[in-house]
Chains A and B, each alone.
Chain A
């Protein structure tokens, strides 16, 4: 068998020497082009919570200690071979994988393999405000801060070169899942040190070095990202020599490029276009229920949205079923609360608001909101699984609110600007959503509405209620699902009363690619990965 491979190699060498020009199809087969929906803000997923950044960096460039099995959603080993949790749930010990090589690129040559120092560096960077790298590139680590993780982790200790111990202040049943998310990636401590000496620490996040299947080559904002294969990847090298992200913000353009063959795989096919992808022989469409929620959040820091009555009224003024039909065209389920039906904590019998414009107007009058009141709806400019077309949805809501005598201005900016201004709380209300990073229900409740999440910018409603935080903290103290369910029911009840945001839909996740691509897998927790993808000639 080995002999035959050798022979094949030699033959192909001879052929390629014989005639310089390879066949066109053969050249194109070496590279995989993925049409993505936007430019990543950074190449370090610790620093940003958006799916765009996670897609471009998390699974291509890096690995975490742990990972999720895409089929079963269970936590599986990645850079950590195995782990131990102490009886009291406070001490976690990780045994690290050996011989994991970092990328060798034009700007960095690693002298050692991955070890405990890298783990300490990666975790301490976001955990310790005193860490020399903490303030680099903004010093905001939204995912960890939204979970309040820096206050939960007590110590991270190096036991030996390949063994690390993490101690917590209080038990957290979602901790392992957190370590398996896209955001808990492992950086290179050696590279960081080299950059610090060179006086350019911020390059760590824009010229990344990781252990993932691809290494970073080139990035042109709003244009493309180029990756080359990491030959020494610990799971075995990727099939494709080159991976290219062709950044194409318009979904119809992505579909068109898929049809013309300029893309092999596209991000977020628009709901209206799914039929076409399905019908065409040369395209493949896959779907899977997603762990996400699209919602309409009210900025509770601004009057009159600080009044729960107003928020309830606005929620009642909109027919969610119509939004669902028009925007998701049958590829989503209507939501009753934050959790999608696939989550184990989903409550079948949850109370919900219903479409009732007359009552809505009455409530608005009671709350003293004048007829002809103007508010704005911020519609995100990119497509996400949880909301494939926010502008369209905003226009629909605009016409619904018009019926209760509220005038709506629709606001949209380029994605990076949009999120920056959103974080500053410049909006009245916003159409956005959340894709879960792990299967734990806490991953919906905490980042979206806890008080700590205001500072980290994931609480779009700027809503803070101590009672709510208390309830979700209590839920985490138990490991059995029934006891946690009990708390989550109370939380749901509270949310219907308060209505800081109106959950709209849980969308299916779709993936469209050209015939001949194998190894694509829909990851239930966002994050696309290309390590196992292979492009075959036709």
Chain B
């Protein structure tokens, strides 16, 4: 176990290092002055340039420069955005929680709906229930997430009315930022009509969460179903039947745990897919998250921001992946190095 832990941490460390190297190299690959790309300062005077060169140790060769960059990155000095001149790190700290919040809720919904459906389908393999659940999940899985979001807006916001289609909470309410998670912030905030604001925020959550979770949910259904089918066909299940246990008993005592545990890593991996889809959905629902922020940066060719956003998102994805892997490894020592989803 310790060896495994060591290897995983090693992997984490090296991956993050590679990401840092990549982001540092990007500053030189992007068009324009590397110094501007690193710091986000439109260099106006020779003095300033000299000062910045000192700060980034650009004259001491690439290795020293990178070391300096690493130190700055770790201390939260990510430079300024070219367009807004805000510190990038502060921006990311502000926008990332919004994306995480959305993804977490969508993940929760997908698991809560997807796993029971998957089990139901798996237990009724090759029967009507299975077929219908499977085909619905196939439809959900083939749906382009941006189209789905647009359809939901067309139907639920515009045609039927009632559900809001942009933002996290009506702008009428001023919610002071505390944790970045809207619902937590509202509960934390010292405002009147808390219940009302909370309801408003929940209303705003419905459509984005739905459009994200439909796709993920169908993946969860397929994973769960496949695993349940495999487990239910195994010898120890047959043995349990032979003991005279009923189908429910067999499944709850023997099948369930063995079916769900092996796919845990793959289920958890869906979170990263979800985070990516969240970036698209954010653009559609004007959700002020990291996705929308990065798209703006890309449109405006704001290189320091692209660099920072890329580093933040990919680091987050890698950290989540490896942490989940470690966690599952502790709960379920049998799991092999199954990092990759096989749908």
Q: Given A248-B286, A253-B286, does the pair A33, B165 have CB atoms closer than 8 Å?
A: no
CB atoms of A260 and B165 under 8 A apart: yes
Does B180 count as interface, using CB distance less than 8 angstroms? Answer: no
Contact with A along B77-92 (1 / 0, CB 8 A): 0000001100000000
B299 close to A (CB within 8 Å)? yes
Shortest beta-carbon distance from B293 to chain A in Å:
9
Q: Which of the residues B165, B173, B296, B300 comes within 8 Å of A262, measured between beta carbons?
A: B165
Q: Is A414 an interface residue (CB 8 A)?
A: yes
**Chain B residues in 8 Å Cβ range of A257:** 165-166
Output the least CB separation between B206 and chain A (Å): 13
Contacts of B161 in A (CB 8 A): 259-260
Chain A residues with CB below 8 A from B192, complex form: 20-22
| A interface footprint on B144-182 (CB within 8 Å = 1, 0 otherwise) | 000000000100011001111111001111100000000
The answer to whether A21 and B193 have CB atoms under 8 Å apart is yes
A317 and B174 CA atoms in complex are apart in Å by: 53
Chain B residues whose C-beta falls within 8 Å of the C-beta of A414 in the assembled complex: 83, 296, 299-300
Contacts of A246 in B (CB 8 A): 166-167, 171
Known: A31-B171, A223-B288, A242-B172. Is A262-B196 also a contact (CB below 8 A)? no
Complex Cα spacing A257 to B166, Å: 8
In Å, the complex CA distance between A222 and B161 comes to: 26
> Closest chain A residue to B162 by CB distance?
A260
Is residue B301 within 8 Å, beta carbon to beta carbon, of the partner chain?
A: yes
Answer whether residue A305 sits at the interface, using C-beta atoms and an 8 A cutoff: no
Q: Give the docked Cα–Cα distance between A22 and B197 (Å).
A: 11
**How many Å lie between the Cα of A30 and that of B172 in the bound state?**
8
* Chain B residue at smallest Cβ distance from A228: B174
Interface flag for A244 (CB, 8 Å): yes
Enumerate chain A residues within 8 angstroms of B158, measured Cβ to Cβ: 256, 259-260
Cβ-defined contact, B300 with A417, below 8 A: yes
CB of B288, distance to nearest CB on chain A (Å): 6
Is A481 located at the chain interface by the 8 A CB criterion?
Answer: no
Which positions 253-288 of chain A face chain B at CB distance < 8 Å? 253, 256-257, 259-260, 262
Q: Is B253 an interface residue, CB under 8 A from the partner?
A: no
Tell me, yes or no, whether A10 is within 8 Å of chain B by CB: no
A side interface size, CB within 8 A:
29
Q: A21-B193, A257-B165, A417-B301 are in contact. Are A33 and B286 (CB under 8 A)?
A: no
Judge if B247 is at the interface, Cβ distance under 8 Å.
no
Q: A256-B157, A260-B161, A417-B301 are in contact. Are A248 and B172 (CB under 8 A)?
A: no
What residues of chain B lie closer than 8 Å to A242, measured between beta carbons? 172
Instruction: Give the shortest distance, in Å, between A24 (CB) and chain B (any CB).
Output: 6
Chain B residues lying within 8 Å of A24, measured Cβ to Cβ, are 196
Asked if A407 lies at the interface with its beta carbon under 8 angstroms from chain B, I say no
CB nearest to B157 among chain A residues: A260
User: Chain A residue with minimal CB distance to B153?
Assistant: A256
The minimal Cβ–Cβ distance linking A104 to chain B, given in whole angstroms, is 18
A28 within 8 A of B: yes
Interface of chain B residues 182 through 209 with chain A (CB within 8 A): 192-193, 195-196
Residues from chain A with a CB closer than 8 A to the CB of B196 are 21, 24, 27
Whether A170 sits at the interface, judged by CB under 8 Å, is: no
Nearest B residue (CB) for A225: B171
- Which A329-348 residues have C-beta < 8 A from chain B? none
Q: Which of B103-147 contact A (CB under 8 A)?
A: none
| Closest chain B CB from A483 CB (angstroms) | 48
Chain B residues near A226 (CB, 8 Å)? 171, 174
**Contact yes or no, B83 A33, CB < 8 A:** no
Measured between beta carbons, the chain B residues less than 8 angstroms from A413 are: 299-300
Chain B residues with Cβ below 8 Å from A22 are 192-193
A494: B residues at CB distance < 8 A: none
A370 interface residue (CB < 8 Å to B):
no
> For the complex, is A128 an interface residue (Cβ under 8 Å from B)?
no
Given contacts A244-B171, A244-B172, A256-B157, contact A21 B195 (CB under 8 A): yes
User: In chain B, what residue has the closest Cβ to A262?
Assistant: B164
Contact yes or no, B193 A222, CB < 8 A: no
- One of A27, A220, A222 near B172 (C-beta < 8 A): A27
- The closest CB in chain B to the CB of A22 belongs to B193
Q: Which residues of A contact B170 (CB under 8 A)?
A: 28, 262
Nearest residue (CB) in A for B94 is A220
A242 smallest CB distance to B (angstroms): 7
Minimum C-beta distance from B299 to chain A (A): 5
Q: How far is the CB of A391 from chain B (nearest CB, A)?
A: 14
Question: Is A221 in contact with chain B by the CB < 8 A criterion?
Answer: yes
Interface flags, A201-217, vs B, CB<8A=1, else 0: 00000000000000000
Given A244-B172, A256-B158: A262 and B193 interface contact (C-beta under 8 Å): no
**Residue contacts A-B, CB under 8 angstroms, 5 given:** A27-B172, A223-B288, A226-B174, A253-B166, A259-B158
A residues within 8 Å of B by Cβ? 20-22, 24, 27-28, 30-31, 33, 220-224, 226, 242, 244, 246, 248, 253, 256-257, 259-260, 262, 413-414, 416-417
- List the 9 shortest-distance A-B pairs measured between CB atoms, nearest first: A31-B172, A244-B171, A414-B300, A21-B193, A260-B157, A221-B84, A414-B299, A262-B164, A28-B172
Given contacts A224-B171, A256-B153, A257-B166, 11 further A-B contacts (CB under 8 A): A21-B196, A27-B193, A28-B170, A221-B84, A244-B171, A259-B157, A260-B157, A260-B158, A262-B166, A262-B167, A413-B299
